[in-house]
Amino acid sequence: VRLQLRRGHQRLAVVVMVAMGAVAGEARAAEVAAAQRATLFLEPSSEKGNKGVTVFHPQTDVSGTFASGVGIAAGYAVDIVSGATPRVFAVRNDSYGRPMDAISGATQFSDTRQQVHGGFSYTRPTSDVAGSYSYGWENDYRSHAVTVTTRSDLVDHVFTIGLSYTHNFDRVCDANNEATGGDPLNRAALVTSEHCFQSAPEVTTRKLNIDALEPSVTWAATPRLLLQVGGTAQILDGFQSNPYRRVELGSGGRRPQETLPALRQRYATFLRAAYAVPSLRASVQAGARLYRDTWAVEAATADVLVQQYLTRFLLWSARAHVHSQRGASFYRNADEYRLLGPNGKYWTGDRELSPMRNYLVGGKLAYLRIPESGTKSFFSEIEAALKFEALFYQLDSTFAPNADRKLATIWQLAVSARF
Amino acid sequence: VDSAWCSSVDGRGRTPAAPIPSPVAGRPTGEGAGGSHFPSGPGALGTLRARASLWGLLIVAFVAGGMSGCRHFGVRAHQRELLADRIMSLEGNVQERAADEHVLSNREGAVGGTGTAGGGCGCN
Protein backbone atom coordinates (compact mmCIF):
# COMPACT_ATOMS: atom_id res chain seq x y z
CA VAL A 1 0.00 0.00 0.00
CA ARG A 2 2.87 2.33 0.92
CA LEU A 3 4.50 1.61 -2.44
CA GLN A 4 1.22 2.38 -4.21
CA LEU A 5 0.95 5.62 -2.29
CA ARG A 6 4.51 6.51 -3.21
CA ARG A 7 3.82 5.72 -6.83
CA GLY A 8 0.66 7.77 -6.55
CA HIS A 9 2.65 10.64 -5.09
CA GLN A 10 5.25 10.31 -7.82
CA ARG A 11 2.55 10.42 -10.48
CA LEU A 12 1.01 13.38 -8.76
CA ALA A 13 4.39 15.10 -8.57
CA VAL A 14 4.97 14.47 -12.26
CA VAL A 15 1.54 15.82 -13.10
CA VAL A 16 2.13 18.89 -10.93
CA MET A 17 5.55 19.50 -12.47
CA VAL A 18 4.18 19.14 -15.98
CA ALA A 19 1.31 21.46 -15.08
CA MET A 20 3.70 23.99 -13.53
CA GLY A 21 5.91 23.82 -16.57
CA ALA A 22 2.93 24.33 -18.80
CA VAL A 23 1.77 27.28 -16.70
CA ALA A 24 5.27 28.73 -16.70
CA GLY A 25 5.40 28.35 -20.44
CA GLU A 26 1.95 29.88 -20.69
CA ALA A 27 2.94 32.71 -18.41
CA ARG A 28 5.61 33.80 -20.85
CA ALA A 29 2.97 34.10 -23.52
CA ALA A 30 0.43 35.73 -21.28
CA GLU A 31 -1.18 39.09 -21.73
CA VAL A 32 -2.26 40.80 -18.58
CA ALA A 33 -4.87 43.52 -18.40
CA ALA A 34 -5.81 45.74 -15.49
CA ALA A 35 -8.55 48.33 -15.29
CA GLN A 36 -9.60 50.78 -12.62
CA ARG A 37 -12.80 52.80 -12.87
CA ALA A 38 -14.56 55.13 -10.47
CA THR A 39 -18.12 56.28 -11.00
CA LEU A 40 -19.75 59.08 -9.04
CA PHE A 41 -23.54 59.23 -9.21
CA LEU A 42 -25.21 62.36 -7.87
CA GLU A 43 -28.99 62.58 -7.64
CA PRO A 44 -29.92 65.78 -5.81
CA SER A 45 -33.34 66.56 -4.40
CA SER A 46 -35.24 69.74 -5.12
CA GLU A 47 -36.50 69.72 -1.53
CA LYS A 48 -34.79 71.96 0.97
CA GLY A 49 -32.85 70.01 3.53
CA ASN A 50 -32.86 66.81 1.47
CA LYS A 51 -29.48 65.86 0.11
CA GLY A 52 -30.75 63.31 -2.36
CA VAL A 53 -28.59 60.28 -3.09
CA THR A 54 -24.88 59.97 -3.76
CA VAL A 55 -23.24 56.75 -4.92
CA PHE A 56 -19.51 56.26 -5.30
CA HIS A 57 -18.74 53.13 -7.27
CA PRO A 58 -15.08 52.13 -7.73
CA GLN A 59 -14.26 49.00 -9.74
CA THR A 60 -11.03 47.08 -10.16
CA ASP A 61 -10.58 44.28 -12.68
CA VAL A 62 -7.58 42.20 -13.68
CA SER A 63 -7.36 39.46 -16.25
CA GLY A 64 -4.78 37.24 -17.88
CA THR A 65 -4.93 35.50 -21.21
CA PHE A 66 -2.58 32.67 -22.12
CA ALA A 67 -1.46 31.50 -25.52
CA SER A 68 -3.53 28.34 -25.29
CA GLY A 69 -6.68 30.43 -25.15
CA VAL A 70 -7.24 29.99 -21.44
CA GLY A 71 -8.08 33.17 -19.57
CA ILE A 72 -8.73 34.06 -15.98
CA ALA A 73 -10.29 37.19 -14.53
CA ALA A 74 -11.07 38.67 -11.15
CA GLY A 75 -12.54 41.90 -9.91
CA TYR A 76 -13.86 43.90 -7.00
CA ALA A 77 -16.49 46.61 -6.94
CA VAL A 78 -18.04 48.73 -4.21
CA ASP A 79 -21.16 50.85 -3.94
CA ILE A 80 -20.80 53.48 -1.25
CA VAL A 81 -24.28 54.92 -0.96
CA SER A 82 -25.31 57.85 1.16
CA GLY A 83 -28.15 60.33 1.28
CA ALA A 84 -31.79 60.15 2.09
CA THR A 85 -34.69 58.13 0.74
CA PRO A 86 -38.36 58.36 1.69
CA ARG A 87 -39.44 55.44 3.83
CA VAL A 88 -43.16 56.22 3.42
CA PHE A 89 -44.84 56.77 0.08
CA ALA A 90 -47.71 59.09 0.95
CA VAL A 91 -49.31 62.42 0.15
CA ARG A 92 -48.02 65.59 1.73
CA ASN A 93 -50.50 68.38 2.29
CA ASP A 94 -49.82 72.09 2.07
CA SER A 95 -50.61 74.55 4.87
CA TYR A 96 -54.28 74.58 3.78
CA GLY A 97 -54.54 70.80 3.95
CA ARG A 98 -54.60 70.34 0.19
CA PRO A 99 -52.66 67.47 -1.38
CA MET A 100 -49.38 68.88 -2.64
CA ASP A 101 -47.02 66.08 -3.64
CA ALA A 102 -45.62 62.76 -2.51
CA ILE A 103 -43.69 62.83 0.72
CA SER A 104 -40.05 63.43 0.20
CA GLY A 105 -39.14 63.96 3.81
CA ALA A 106 -36.52 61.30 3.84
CA THR A 107 -34.56 59.13 6.23
CA GLN A 108 -30.82 59.56 6.21
CA PHE A 109 -28.89 56.45 5.46
CA SER A 110 -25.54 55.18 4.34
CA ASP A 111 -24.66 51.72 3.15
CA THR A 112 -21.85 49.89 1.45
CA ARG A 113 -22.34 47.12 -1.05
CA GLN A 114 -19.33 45.10 -2.04
CA GLN A 115 -18.90 42.57 -4.78
CA VAL A 116 -16.10 40.22 -5.74
CA HIS A 117 -16.09 38.15 -8.87
CA GLY A 118 -13.85 35.70 -10.64
CA GLY A 119 -14.02 33.65 -13.77
CA PHE A 120 -12.33 31.73 -16.50
CA SER A 121 -12.60 31.58 -20.24
CA TYR A 122 -11.41 29.29 -22.98
CA THR A 123 -11.14 30.72 -26.45
CA ARG A 124 -10.78 28.78 -29.67
CA PRO A 125 -10.58 30.25 -33.17
CA THR A 126 -14.30 29.94 -33.78
CA SER A 127 -15.80 29.64 -30.33
CA ASP A 128 -15.34 30.43 -26.69
CA VAL A 129 -16.84 29.50 -23.39
CA ALA A 130 -16.64 31.39 -20.12
CA GLY A 131 -17.83 30.92 -16.59
CA SER A 132 -17.88 33.33 -13.69
CA TYR A 133 -19.02 33.61 -10.11
CA SER A 134 -19.78 36.72 -8.12
CA TYR A 135 -20.62 37.35 -4.52
CA GLY A 136 -22.20 40.58 -3.41
CA TRP A 137 -22.96 41.59 0.13
CA GLU A 138 -24.30 44.48 2.11
CA ASN A 139 -25.94 44.82 5.50
CA ASP A 140 -29.32 43.63 4.27
CA TYR A 141 -28.54 41.68 1.12
CA ARG A 142 -26.48 38.66 0.02
CA SER A 143 -26.09 37.61 -3.57
CA HIS A 144 -24.38 34.63 -5.19
CA ALA A 145 -24.46 34.59 -8.98
CA VAL A 146 -23.13 32.03 -11.45
CA THR A 147 -22.86 32.87 -15.15
CA VAL A 148 -22.01 30.66 -18.11
CA THR A 149 -21.47 32.23 -21.51
CA THR A 150 -20.74 30.61 -24.83
CA ARG A 151 -20.15 32.04 -28.26
CA SER A 152 -19.62 30.47 -31.67
CA ASP A 153 -18.68 31.94 -35.02
CA LEU A 154 -20.39 30.48 -38.04
CA VAL A 155 -20.04 30.75 -41.82
CA ASP A 156 -16.49 32.11 -41.95
CA HIS A 157 -17.08 34.30 -38.89
CA VAL A 158 -19.92 36.14 -40.58
CA PHE A 159 -22.39 35.14 -37.86
CA THR A 160 -21.78 34.87 -34.16
CA ILE A 161 -24.26 33.13 -31.91
CA GLY A 162 -24.02 33.94 -28.24
CA LEU A 163 -25.81 32.47 -25.26
CA SER A 164 -25.54 33.49 -21.64
CA TYR A 165 -27.20 32.02 -18.59
CA THR A 166 -27.09 33.46 -15.08
CA HIS A 167 -28.54 32.16 -11.86
CA ASN A 168 -28.69 34.26 -8.72
CA PHE A 169 -29.09 32.81 -5.25
CA ASP A 170 -30.02 35.95 -3.33
CA ARG A 171 -31.05 36.50 0.25
CA VAL A 172 -32.84 39.59 1.55
CA CYS A 173 -33.26 40.74 5.11
CA ASP A 174 -36.84 41.54 6.09
CA ALA A 175 -38.83 42.39 9.19
CA ASN A 176 -40.28 39.35 10.92
CA ASN A 177 -44.02 39.63 10.30
CA GLU A 178 -45.11 36.21 11.55
CA ALA A 179 -47.33 37.86 14.13
CA THR A 180 -49.47 39.53 11.43
CA GLY A 181 -51.01 36.20 10.43
CA GLY A 182 -50.18 36.78 6.79
CA ASP A 183 -52.32 39.90 6.40
CA PRO A 184 -50.29 42.18 4.13
CA LEU A 185 -52.13 45.25 5.42
CA ASN A 186 -50.57 44.63 8.81
CA ARG A 187 -47.04 44.02 7.61
CA ALA A 188 -44.42 46.17 9.30
CA ALA A 189 -41.39 47.44 7.43
CA LEU A 190 -37.81 46.74 8.33
CA VAL A 191 -36.50 49.60 10.44
CA THR A 192 -32.79 48.88 10.53
CA SER A 193 -30.35 46.41 9.05
CA GLU A 194 -28.49 46.16 12.34
CA HIS A 195 -29.50 42.57 13.15
CA CYS A 196 -29.80 41.18 9.65
CA PHE A 197 -28.42 37.67 9.04
CA GLN A 198 -27.81 37.24 12.78
CA SER A 199 -30.80 35.07 13.75
CA ALA A 200 -32.36 37.93 15.68
CA PRO A 201 -36.12 37.43 16.35
CA GLU A 202 -37.17 40.77 14.85
CA VAL A 203 -35.76 40.01 11.42
CA THR A 204 -35.99 37.17 8.95
CA THR A 205 -34.25 36.19 5.75
CA ARG A 206 -36.18 35.93 2.50
CA LYS A 207 -35.05 34.15 -0.66
CA LEU A 208 -34.88 35.51 -4.17
CA ASN A 209 -33.83 33.29 -7.08
CA ILE A 210 -33.16 34.78 -10.49
CA ASP A 211 -32.68 32.93 -13.76
CA ALA A 212 -31.68 34.86 -16.86
CA LEU A 213 -31.12 33.57 -20.38
CA GLU A 214 -29.70 35.86 -23.05
CA PRO A 215 -29.33 34.64 -26.65
CA SER A 216 -27.99 36.85 -29.42
CA VAL A 217 -27.01 36.63 -33.07
CA THR A 218 -24.55 39.04 -34.64
CA TRP A 219 -24.11 39.48 -38.37
CA ALA A 220 -21.15 41.13 -40.09
CA ALA A 221 -23.44 42.31 -42.84
CA THR A 222 -21.09 44.50 -44.88
CA PRO A 223 -17.51 45.74 -44.45
CA ARG A 224 -18.99 48.71 -42.60
CA LEU A 225 -22.06 47.32 -40.88
CA LEU A 226 -22.59 45.03 -37.91
CA LEU A 227 -26.10 43.96 -36.92
CA GLN A 228 -27.12 42.22 -33.74
CA VAL A 229 -30.45 40.86 -32.60
CA GLY A 230 -31.12 39.17 -29.31
CA GLY A 231 -33.16 39.05 -26.19
CA THR A 232 -33.39 38.39 -22.50
CA ALA A 233 -35.73 36.15 -20.57
CA GLN A 234 -35.52 36.56 -16.83
CA ILE A 235 -37.53 34.92 -14.07
CA LEU A 236 -37.44 36.28 -10.54
CA ASP A 237 -38.93 34.15 -7.81
CA GLY A 238 -38.95 35.38 -4.25
CA PHE A 239 -39.01 38.52 -2.15
CA GLN A 240 -38.71 41.59 -4.38
CA SER A 241 -40.06 44.40 -2.21
CA ASN A 242 -38.01 47.12 -0.62
CA PRO A 243 -38.22 45.88 2.99
CA TYR A 244 -37.91 49.44 4.37
CA ARG A 245 -40.63 51.08 2.30
CA ARG A 246 -44.16 51.69 3.47
CA VAL A 247 -47.15 52.87 1.42
CA GLU A 248 -50.03 54.89 2.77
CA LEU A 249 -53.34 53.29 1.74
CA GLY A 250 -56.72 55.01 2.11
CA SER A 251 -57.49 58.07 4.17
CA GLY A 252 -57.28 56.20 7.47
CA GLY A 253 -53.52 56.48 7.55
CA ARG A 254 -52.62 52.77 7.27
CA ARG A 255 -49.03 52.43 6.18
CA PRO A 256 -48.16 48.77 5.58
CA GLN A 257 -44.92 47.56 4.09
CA GLU A 258 -44.65 47.59 0.30
CA THR A 259 -46.01 44.32 -1.08
CA LEU A 260 -45.04 42.97 -4.50
CA PRO A 261 -45.79 39.68 -6.27
CA ALA A 262 -43.25 36.93 -5.61
CA LEU A 263 -42.98 35.95 -9.26
CA ARG A 264 -41.90 38.20 -12.11
CA GLN A 265 -41.11 37.16 -15.65
CA ARG A 266 -39.29 39.75 -17.72
CA TYR A 267 -38.70 39.65 -21.45
CA ALA A 268 -36.69 41.99 -23.63
CA THR A 269 -35.69 41.91 -27.27
CA PHE A 270 -33.24 44.20 -28.97
CA LEU A 271 -31.76 45.13 -32.31
CA ARG A 272 -28.42 46.94 -32.49
CA ALA A 273 -26.27 48.17 -35.33
CA ALA A 274 -22.79 49.62 -35.69
CA TYR A 275 -21.87 51.51 -38.84
CA ALA A 276 -18.37 52.69 -39.72
CA VAL A 277 -17.78 56.09 -41.31
CA PRO A 278 -14.11 55.86 -42.34
CA SER A 279 -14.03 59.28 -43.98
CA LEU A 280 -14.64 60.79 -40.53
CA ARG A 281 -12.72 58.12 -38.64
CA ALA A 282 -15.94 57.55 -36.77
CA SER A 283 -18.64 55.04 -36.06
CA VAL A 284 -22.31 55.30 -35.22
CA GLN A 285 -24.03 52.72 -33.06
CA ALA A 286 -27.78 52.63 -32.60
CA GLY A 287 -29.98 50.26 -30.70
CA ALA A 288 -33.61 49.71 -29.77
CA ARG A 289 -35.07 47.52 -27.07
CA LEU A 290 -38.63 46.43 -26.34
CA TYR A 291 -39.45 45.14 -22.88
CA ARG A 292 -42.45 43.57 -21.18
CA ASP A 293 -42.98 41.73 -17.94
CA THR A 294 -45.74 39.92 -16.09
CA TRP A 295 -46.31 42.93 -13.84
CA ALA A 296 -47.49 44.74 -16.99
CA VAL A 297 -44.51 47.05 -17.18
CA GLU A 298 -43.93 47.75 -20.88
CA ALA A 299 -40.98 49.77 -22.06
CA ALA A 300 -39.19 50.94 -25.17
CA THR A 301 -35.59 52.10 -25.10
CA ALA A 302 -33.39 53.67 -27.77
CA ASP A 303 -29.64 54.33 -27.67
CA VAL A 304 -27.26 56.15 -29.97
CA LEU A 305 -23.48 56.23 -29.58
CA VAL A 306 -21.15 58.22 -31.83
CA GLN A 307 -17.39 57.68 -31.54
CA GLN A 308 -14.65 59.47 -33.43
CA TYR A 309 -10.86 59.55 -33.42
CA LEU A 310 -9.71 63.15 -33.09
CA THR A 311 -6.08 62.09 -33.41
CA ARG A 312 -4.28 58.79 -33.19
CA PHE A 313 -4.32 59.13 -29.41
CA LEU A 314 -7.58 60.93 -28.73
CA LEU A 315 -11.02 59.41 -28.99
CA TRP A 316 -14.25 61.18 -28.13
CA SER A 317 -17.76 59.85 -27.98
CA ALA A 318 -21.29 61.12 -27.39
CA ARG A 319 -24.15 59.05 -26.13
CA ALA A 320 -27.92 59.52 -25.94
CA HIS A 321 -30.40 57.20 -24.29
CA VAL A 322 -34.20 57.46 -24.16
CA HIS A 323 -36.38 55.18 -22.10
CA SER A 324 -40.16 55.21 -21.84
CA GLN A 325 -42.25 52.83 -19.77
CA ARG A 326 -45.74 52.14 -18.51
CA GLY A 327 -46.29 51.48 -14.85
CA ALA A 328 -46.99 48.13 -13.25
CA SER A 329 -50.61 47.02 -13.16
CA PHE A 330 -50.83 47.55 -9.41
CA TYR A 331 -49.01 50.89 -9.36
CA ARG A 332 -50.84 54.01 -8.25
CA ASN A 333 -49.43 57.34 -7.29
CA ALA A 334 -49.60 58.48 -3.68
CA ASP A 335 -52.79 60.50 -4.16
CA GLU A 336 -54.55 57.59 -5.85
CA TYR A 337 -53.51 55.19 -3.08
CA ARG A 338 -54.94 57.66 -0.60
CA LEU A 339 -58.23 58.18 -2.46
CA LEU A 340 -58.80 54.75 -4.00
CA GLY A 341 -56.73 52.38 -1.91
CA PRO A 342 -54.64 49.61 -3.47
CA ASN A 343 -55.26 48.24 -6.92
CA GLY A 344 -55.55 44.58 -5.95
CA LYS A 345 -53.44 42.94 -3.29
CA TYR A 346 -50.12 44.60 -4.16
CA TRP A 347 -48.85 48.14 -3.65
CA THR A 348 -45.60 49.91 -4.30
CA GLY A 349 -43.77 53.18 -3.91
CA ASP A 350 -41.04 52.26 -6.37
CA ARG A 351 -40.28 54.85 -9.02
CA GLU A 352 -39.05 52.10 -11.34
CA LEU A 353 -42.57 50.61 -11.37
CA SER A 354 -44.25 53.91 -12.23
CA PRO A 355 -44.93 55.32 -15.70
CA MET A 356 -41.90 57.40 -16.55
CA ARG A 357 -39.45 58.58 -19.15
CA ASN A 358 -35.70 58.89 -18.79
CA TYR A 359 -33.37 60.87 -21.02
CA LEU A 360 -29.63 60.46 -20.80
CA VAL A 361 -27.02 62.49 -22.69
CA GLY A 362 -23.31 62.61 -22.21
CA GLY A 363 -19.86 62.43 -23.64
CA LYS A 364 -16.46 60.86 -23.11
CA LEU A 365 -12.91 61.79 -23.94
CA ALA A 366 -10.31 59.02 -23.99
CA TYR A 367 -6.56 59.14 -24.35
CA LEU A 368 -5.06 56.03 -25.97
CA ARG A 369 -1.43 55.06 -26.06
CA ILE A 370 -0.66 52.20 -28.41
CA PRO A 371 2.86 51.35 -29.57
CA GLU A 372 3.53 51.55 -33.26
CA SER A 373 3.62 48.20 -35.00
CA GLY A 374 7.12 46.77 -34.92
CA THR A 375 8.31 48.84 -31.96
CA LYS A 376 9.09 47.22 -28.64
CA SER A 377 7.22 48.42 -25.59
CA PHE A 378 6.46 47.08 -22.14
CA PHE A 379 2.76 47.69 -22.70
CA SER A 380 0.43 46.96 -25.56
CA GLU A 381 -2.18 49.57 -24.70
CA ILE A 382 -2.86 52.25 -22.12
CA GLU A 383 -6.09 54.18 -21.89
CA ALA A 384 -7.36 56.97 -19.66
CA ALA A 385 -10.90 58.24 -20.00
CA LEU A 386 -13.20 60.85 -18.47
CA LYS A 387 -16.94 60.62 -18.96
CA PHE A 388 -19.84 62.84 -17.98
CA GLU A 389 -23.52 62.06 -18.37
CA ALA A 390 -26.77 63.67 -17.25
CA LEU A 391 -29.90 61.63 -16.62
CA PHE A 392 -33.25 63.42 -16.63
CA TYR A 393 -36.37 61.89 -15.10
CA GLN A 394 -39.83 62.71 -16.37
CA LEU A 395 -42.54 61.39 -14.08
CA ASP A 396 -46.26 61.65 -14.76
CA SER A 397 -47.28 63.28 -11.48
CA THR A 398 -46.01 65.22 -8.51
CA PHE A 399 -47.48 62.36 -6.49
CA ALA A 400 -45.10 59.86 -8.11
CA PRO A 401 -42.26 58.30 -6.08
CA ASN A 402 -39.12 60.43 -5.79
CA ALA A 403 -40.73 63.25 -7.73
CA ASP A 404 -38.38 65.64 -5.97
CA ARG A 405 -35.43 64.15 -7.86
CA LYS A 406 -35.54 65.34 -11.41
CA LEU A 407 -32.05 64.62 -12.65
CA ALA A 408 -28.83 62.83 -11.89
CA THR A 409 -25.29 63.49 -13.01
CA ILE A 410 -22.78 60.73 -13.54
CA TRP A 411 -19.02 61.23 -13.58
CA GLN A 412 -16.64 58.48 -14.52
CA LEU A 413 -12.86 58.28 -14.53
CA ALA A 414 -11.12 55.20 -15.87
CA VAL A 415 -7.57 54.00 -16.38
CA SER A 416 -6.69 50.69 -18.01
CA ALA A 417 -3.61 48.99 -19.37
CA ARG A 418 -2.59 45.86 -21.21
CA PHE A 419 0.86 44.36 -20.89
CA VAL B 1 -22.71 26.35 -53.14
CA ASP B 2 -22.64 30.09 -53.38
CA SER B 3 -25.84 31.81 -54.23
CA ALA B 4 -25.91 34.71 -56.65
CA TRP B 5 -26.12 37.12 -53.71
CA CYS B 6 -23.11 35.54 -52.10
CA SER B 7 -21.15 35.67 -55.32
CA SER B 8 -21.93 39.34 -55.64
CA VAL B 9 -20.13 39.93 -52.35
CA ASP B 10 -16.97 38.24 -53.52
CA GLY B 11 -17.07 35.35 -55.89
CA ARG B 12 -13.36 34.80 -56.10
CA GLY B 13 -13.20 32.47 -53.15
CA ARG B 14 -10.27 34.16 -51.47
CA THR B 15 -8.62 32.45 -48.59
CA PRO B 16 -8.56 34.45 -45.35
CA ALA B 17 -5.13 36.00 -45.09
CA ALA B 18 -5.25 37.16 -41.49
CA PRO B 19 -6.80 36.11 -38.20
CA ILE B 20 -10.46 36.86 -38.43
CA PRO B 21 -11.92 38.97 -35.67
CA SER B 22 -15.27 37.95 -34.31
CA PRO B 23 -17.95 40.53 -34.99
CA VAL B 24 -18.76 40.74 -31.29
CA ALA B 25 -15.35 40.21 -29.83
CA GLY B 26 -14.23 42.70 -27.22
CA ARG B 27 -11.24 44.81 -27.84
CA PRO B 28 -8.69 43.22 -30.08
CA THR B 29 -5.66 42.15 -28.14
CA GLY B 30 -2.01 42.13 -28.99
CA GLU B 31 0.48 44.73 -29.93
CA GLY B 32 -1.02 47.50 -31.93
CA ALA B 33 -4.29 45.68 -32.28
CA GLY B 34 -6.20 48.31 -30.35
CA GLY B 35 -5.27 51.06 -32.75
CA SER B 36 -7.53 52.68 -35.24
CA HIS B 37 -8.02 50.90 -38.52
CA PHE B 38 -9.72 53.96 -39.89
CA PRO B 39 -7.86 56.07 -42.48
CA SER B 40 -5.74 58.82 -40.99
CA GLY B 41 -4.63 60.85 -43.96
CA PRO B 42 -5.21 64.57 -44.48
CA GLY B 43 -8.88 65.49 -44.28
CA ALA B 44 -9.77 62.35 -42.45
CA LEU B 45 -10.66 64.18 -39.24
CA GLY B 46 -12.81 65.68 -40.25
CA THR B 47 -42.56 53.24 -33.86
CA LEU B 48 -41.34 52.28 -30.68
CA ARG B 49 -43.20 49.05 -30.94
CA ALA B 50 -42.03 46.56 -33.57
CA ARG B 51 -43.91 43.46 -34.48
CA ALA B 52 -42.75 40.19 -33.09
CA SER B 53 -42.94 38.70 -36.55
CA LEU B 54 -40.17 41.04 -37.70
CA TRP B 55 -37.83 39.63 -35.08
CA GLY B 56 -38.86 36.14 -36.08
CA LEU B 57 -38.13 36.86 -39.72
CA LEU B 58 -34.73 38.28 -38.88
CA ILE B 59 -33.79 35.24 -36.84
CA VAL B 60 -35.10 32.90 -39.55
CA ALA B 61 -33.07 34.83 -42.12
CA PHE B 62 -29.94 34.48 -40.00
CA VAL B 63 -30.45 30.77 -39.45
CA ALA B 64 -31.38 30.14 -43.08
CA GLY B 65 -28.26 31.95 -44.18
CA GLY B 66 -26.15 29.82 -41.94
CA MET B 67 -27.79 26.59 -43.05
CA SER B 68 -27.74 27.30 -46.78
CA GLY B 69 -24.12 26.43 -47.34
CA CYS B 70 -23.55 30.02 -48.36
CA ARG B 71 -19.95 30.22 -47.20
CA HIS B 72 -19.41 33.85 -48.10
CA PHE B 73 -22.66 35.29 -46.79
CA GLY B 74 -21.52 38.69 -45.66
CA VAL B 75 -17.99 39.93 -45.16
CA ARG B 76 -14.68 38.30 -46.11
CA ALA B 77 -11.61 38.30 -43.91
CA HIS B 78 -9.81 40.98 -45.89
CA GLN B 79 -12.87 43.24 -45.63
CA ARG B 80 -12.89 43.33 -41.84
CA GLU B 81 -10.42 46.09 -41.19
CA LEU B 82 -13.08 48.58 -40.14
CA LEU B 83 -15.22 46.04 -38.30
CA ALA B 84 -12.23 45.04 -36.15
CA ASP B 85 -11.71 48.55 -34.81
CA ARG B 86 -12.50 49.17 -31.16
CA ILE B 87 -15.12 51.79 -31.98
CA MET B 88 -17.13 49.18 -33.91
CA SER B 89 -17.41 46.76 -30.99
CA LEU B 90 -21.06 46.35 -30.02
CA GLU B 91 -20.03 45.13 -26.58
CA GLY B 92 -17.66 48.00 -25.96
CA ASN B 93 -15.58 48.10 -22.84
CA VAL B 94 -16.90 45.41 -20.51
CA GLN B 95 -16.14 47.33 -17.32
CA GLU B 96 -17.67 50.54 -18.64
CA ARG B 97 -20.76 48.72 -19.81
CA ALA B 98 -21.17 47.08 -16.41
CA ALA B 99 -20.99 50.49 -14.72
CA ASP B 100 -23.49 52.02 -17.14
CA GLU B 101 -25.91 49.13 -16.72
CA HIS B 102 -25.51 49.29 -12.98
CA VAL B 103 -26.76 52.88 -13.02
CA LEU B 104 -29.65 52.39 -15.42
CA SER B 105 -30.91 49.07 -14.04
CA ASN B 106 -31.51 50.80 -10.71
CA ARG B 107 -33.30 53.74 -12.33
CA GLU B 108 -35.51 52.06 -14.92
CA GLY B 109 -38.11 49.31 -14.71
CA ALA B 110 -36.72 47.36 -17.65
CA VAL B 111 -33.67 45.14 -17.81
CA GLY B 112 -31.99 42.96 -20.36
CA GLY B 113 -31.35 43.28 -24.02
CA THR B 114 -27.84 44.45 -23.39
CA GLY B 115 -25.91 41.25 -22.89
CA THR B 116 -25.63 41.59 -19.14
CA ALA B 117 -27.54 39.93 -16.34
CA GLY B 118 -27.52 40.53 -12.64
CA GLY B 119 -29.50 40.93 -9.52
CA GLY B 120 -29.75 42.99 -6.40
CA CYS B 121 -32.69 44.76 -4.89
CA GLY B 122 -31.53 48.30 -5.62
CA CYS B 123 -33.30 49.22 -2.41
CA ASN B 124 -31.66 52.61 -2.17
What confidence tens digit (pLDDT) does each residue in A152-204 have?
Answer: 988 888 899 999 999 999 999 999 998 887 788 999 999 888 899 998 899 99
Instruction: Report how far apart, in Å, the C-alpha atoms of A208 and of each of A164, A204, A261, A355 are.
Output: 20, 13, 12, 25
For B75, the closest of A222, A266, A416 (CB atoms) is A222
Question: Predicted confidence band at A133 (pLDDT cuts at 50, 70, 90)?
Answer: very high
CB contact under 8 A, B71 and A156: yes
pLDDT, mean of residues A369-375 = 84
Residue A388 touches partner B, C-beta closer than 8 Å = no
Q: Higher pLDDT residue, A94 or A262?
A: A262
Q: CB count, 10 Å around CB of A220?
A: 29
For A229, the closest of B59, B73, B114 (CB atoms) is B59
Give the closest residue to B117 by CA, choosing from B95, B93, B96, B101: B101
pLDDT digits (tens, 9 = 90+) for A336-348: 999 999 999 999 9
Mean residue pLDDT across chain A: 89
CB contact under 8 A, A323 and B102: no
Element (DSSP H or E) covering residue A332: none
At residue A90, the pLDDT reads: 87
Q: Which residue of B has its CA nearest to A284?
A: B88
pLDDT, mean of residues A220-232 = 93
Q: Give the strand pairing for A107-124 and A298-309.
A: unpaired
CB contact under 8 A, A157 and B90: no
pLDDT, mean of residues A380-391 = 96
CB contact under 8 A, B75 and A221: yes
CB contact under 8 A, A214 and B16: no
Whole-model pTM?
Answer: 0.81
Instruction: Report how far apart, in Å, the C-alpha atoms of A61 and of each of A115, A119, A200, B105, B113 are.
Output: 12, 11, 36, 21, 24
Q: Distance from A85 to chain B by nearest Cα, in Å?
A: 7
Instruction: Report how far apart, in Å, the C-alpha atoms of B61 and of each of A73, A159, A160 are.
Output: 36, 12, 14
Residue A198 touches partner B, C-beta closer than 8 Å = no
Side chain identity, residue A281: R
Query: Measured between alpha carbons, how far is A286 from A128 in angstroms, rounded to an integer?
Result: 26
Residue A243 touches partner B, C-beta closer than 8 Å = yes
CB contact under 8 A, B114 and A289: yes
Query: Measured between alpha carbons, how far is A262 from A266 in angstroms, rounded to an integer?
Result: 13
The region, left, alpha or beta by phi > 0 then psi within -120 to 50, assigned to residue A253 is: left
At residue B19, the pLDDT reads: 39
pLDDT digits (tens, 9 = 90+) for A56-104: 999 999 999 988 899 999 999 999 999 877 788 888 888 887 888 887 6
At residue A97, the pLDDT reads: 79
